[in-house]
Structure 1
């Protein structure tokens, strides 16, 4: 039954990724090295060869061992070195890849980094048709393959010069347990990789391609064919009927109207409370009438990264058949200045009934989430509610590109998320949220204000969101402003742009604490 499941997932993935978005790198496991290939060869610390290295060494009558020794390559984790292929080896060229100590099992994240680093070096050295030989255990080689897939991602669809297109159609991983590794990878790992890939694609697209309705259309296409998925979309007319004045007000300045996309995944027991994830989806943020600094405005297409990761997480869970009920909500708007745009000083009424004075139209993410979170909390009564948002520059200045800021009124939930952030690759750092932060958003005209001259940045933003969530609901706010996107390459993110942050973390969180409940 497990093999049938992985075959169905594989067939569906091929269909989806040839019919929307950028074609994804396909990871294939084989048990033999092809002849005359360009090979990435895993070598353990102190130049210890694994199974495939020993095969090549025998073919070359010890020339491989000699070449490694004289090259100075030691086999430390993350170390790489391109060497000429020894005569008789059967391969054209070899990129040595350090695996670290043969006696030490690395963490999943470390294997991802080794795989991502290796494939990036191989792309620069070989170009295409990459094979990677390693005799790691099944689960470790699957994590390694996750790093390979994430590390091979390049958003190059708009380049017209062929030599700037670095995307890989396929990467082959040579493993002595190829069938077991393929099955485990396809059922447990590849759905998560695909969710991250799709979230990166959506976030990296320019704002003339992805706006509220096209975001809905693209994700609806991706979800088509997955089991236990239902989709609802609230348009601007229904927003007015539901008195969602906060999200509507943000989008009213654009000729592209706002949307709220709600995706329900019913993989768990009927009637059990869902986990709900909500994401900020500002598809482009000019700042509205509180105009941003124009030289830095170009990257505001990434202001919908929270919504993209929300949908990417739902995709990962549904594609791997997670036994849990989850709802994803994307609060989508384009924040533009125009004669119809809301003004600083305006007062809007949220779905909750609370009134909000607009102090800055550039503090818009908390407005779309005010209605999104209230809707999530009151309609679904979630067992836990988590939101992701590129909310504040304060969080970015405090934590840089290493961590997202975590805010919560619930210590046990915060502890669970922090624990998994250390192993998932999606780092978190908890920042304070107390009564002073809630007092900082009080207003002398309306119930609350969305910004203020003395409000303490990221914590005040979190307090604003918390105002629209019941105190009894376990809730966490992840401010991902500093980590959602970056120009700097990492082992699992080669090209500038979106990280697809939060999908590995939330997949692990739901799998650890909520599946099968």
Structure 2
């Protein structure tokens, strides 16, 4: 098979476009637009700006709400059209509980869920009656709205494309809300949009070098960032037989993209984030069924989430040292692809018998986590991957699977999930899971050793993690791709992991 250079194929790669919604903040006393969104916890009376809107409709809004038996349950939305001077009034239930950062984001997403995607009129979102102890709640509402207002339609006809919404968010502390969003939270939105863009691109557009080029372009002009790219020759020097083995059946050579951000004190150990980046997964020689294979373009979601997290953290100038490693390969069947029964030698020197070439994510992570430890001596390592169907079957799409060696660390990660809005739930890692990996002809096997599949996948990666290093394994196979909308993301890739890992960084800097 003749291999084309990455440079020769660059013309095939469309640019990543992160079209962000227009968001500004204004004082509560300022005039509202013709489209407004209100948050309610009662249909008996309205307070604050919601009461003002009702007065401007001569009480018609409240009467309409009561006649329609509007629900105040959290996230329930209903729109009224042509009431008084307003083109559209959308009411969103917020129940009567204190709102957290995560639930405020959800409300922001619900707030725009019924608004026209291409509405020419700006929309006012009124936030003065939110019940919360969170500082600058309007900024978190804005973040949720920004996360929901995402569209991947670059391959559609011009008349079918959407334009970002224009939102005006009323806030009692306009200056503080503006600063919190513009200097912090909007970068999280950008990071999530980047991760979604990468996972949504067709496989022919995103191959290892194309991933590198697209991500590198996002970091231009950002301070304290150093980017290194290991090519095939570098991998050979480091004996990365697992990463090279997965990629050797593809026309596109594998890459290891390393982004180092040094915003903390010089010499302080960094946090390491390592994300699986299979740019397309056919299963290799252990070929997948055609049904659903199209979705394997998103098997790079772990790497995409690492890139998005680094972008958010570095853009806001967080005082932390952080390194992201993204092993990238395309898993294809070809005359030189690895076969079941082959043995690969990793950078660590541990040999792996290949039972299934479709258990490839753990292979590329093996070399990447070893490189992360040897080169950067991190104080914590988090790896993230769309790794096993077992995790999805166990936890569905409500939780990502969390596996650590220490229960206390699991509890810390569950707290980070709750704070960020990206929930995780622990699965076990038992010494027997490592014993099950024993191979008769190599040190370990990569698959085919029985249940539980998610824990076995983690044990393969854990074989390459120093036992005294705080280590977090995230299996996002169930939460990565949405079959229907949620509060903060439309159907498709939700860029899972950017908010979670960003929270981990905030908690451990």
- Give the TM-score normalised by the residue count of structure 1: 0.90
The separation in 1 between residues aligned to 2:33 and 2:120, in whole angstroms, is 15
Equivalent residue of 1:42, what SS?
strand
Shift in alpha-carbon separation, 1:125–1:273, aligned structure 2, 3 A: closer
Post-superposition offset of 1:177 = 2.6
Q: Which residue of 1 aligns with 2:104?
A: 111
CA distance in structure 2 between the partners assigned to 1:485 and 1:423 by the alignment: 21
Q: Partner residue of 2:446? A: 450
Structure-2 separation of matches of 1:432 and 1:77: 33
1:460 aligns with 2:453: no
Find the partner of 1:57 among 37, 47, 54. 54
Count of residue correspondences: 490
**CA offset digits 1:334-357 (Å, max 9, x no partner):** 000111111111111111111111
Match of 1:130 in 2: 123
Number of the residue aligned with 1:154: 151
- What is the root-mean-square deviation of aligned Cα atoms in Å? 2.0
Farther-moved stretch of structure 1 (152-161 vs 309-318): 152-161
Corresponding residue SS for 2:74? coil
Asked if 1 retains the 8 angstrom alpha-carbon contact of 2:102 and 2:418, the reply is: no
Quote the offset at 1:367 in angstroms. 0.6
Q: Paired residue for 2:251?
A: 255
| Alignment partners' CA distance in 1, 2:492 and 2:221 | 29
Pair 1:238 & 2:234 matched? yes
Matched, 1:70 2:67: yes
Q: What is the TM-score when the length of structure 2 is the normalising length?
A: 0.91
2:139 to 137, 142, 167: 142
C-alpha distance after superposition, 1:359-379 (max 9, x if no partner): 111111011001001001121
1:161, distance to aligned residue in structure 2 (A): 6.0
Cα offsets for 1:148-190 (capped at 9, x unmatched): 111111222222163x434424322222332221111112211
Q: Secondary structure at the match of 1:48?
A: coil
Please state if 1:295 is matched with 2:291: yes
Identify unmatched segments of 5+ residues in structure 1: 1-18
Structure-2 residue corresponding to 1:93: 88
The aligned counterpart of 2:280 is 284
Deviation (angstroms), 1:251:
0.5
Q: Which runs of 4+ in 1 moved over 6 A?
A: none
Give 1:225's aligned residue. Answer: 221
Are 2:33 and 2:122, in contact at CA under 8 Å, matched by a contact in 1? no
Cα deviation, residue 125, structure 1:
10
Q: How does 1:20-39 map to 2 (within 5 A)?
A: 20-31=16-27, 37-39=34-36
CA 1:98–1:340 in structure 2 vs 1: closer, same or farther (change >3 Å)?
Answer: same
Distance 1:297 1:122, change over 3 A: same
Change (3 A) 1:128 1:499: farther
Question: In structure 2, which of residues 493, 504, 508 is the aligned counterpart of residue 509 of structure 1?
Answer: 504
Q: Which residue of 1 aligns with 2:466?
A: 470
Q: Deviations for 1:487-517, whole angstroms, at most 9, x for unmatched residues?
A: 12111112x21111112111112212x22xx
Shift of the alpha carbon at 1:44?
3.5
Distance in 2 of aligned mates of 1:362 and 1:316: 32
Following TM superposition, by how much is the alpha carbon of 1:117 offset from its aligned partner in structure 2, in angstroms?
Answer: 1.3
Which of 428, 434, 451 does residue 432 from structure 1 map onto?
A: 428
The answer (yes or no) to whether the contact 2:270–2:380 under 8 Å persists in 1 is yes
The answer for unaligned runs of 5 or more in structure 2 is: 1-14
For residue 124 of structure 2, give the secondary structure of its aligned residue in structure 1.
strand
Structure 1 window deviating more from structure 2 (126-135 vs 485-494): it is: 126-135
Q: Distance in 2 between matches of 1:167 and 1:490?
A: 20
Q: Deviations along 1:24-57, whole A, 9 cap, x unmatched?
A: 2132112366566222233342343333233333
> Corresponding residue for 2:493?
498
Contact 1:156-1:167 at 8 Å conserved across structures: no
Measure, in 1, the Cα distance between the counterparts of 2:24 and 2:242: 47
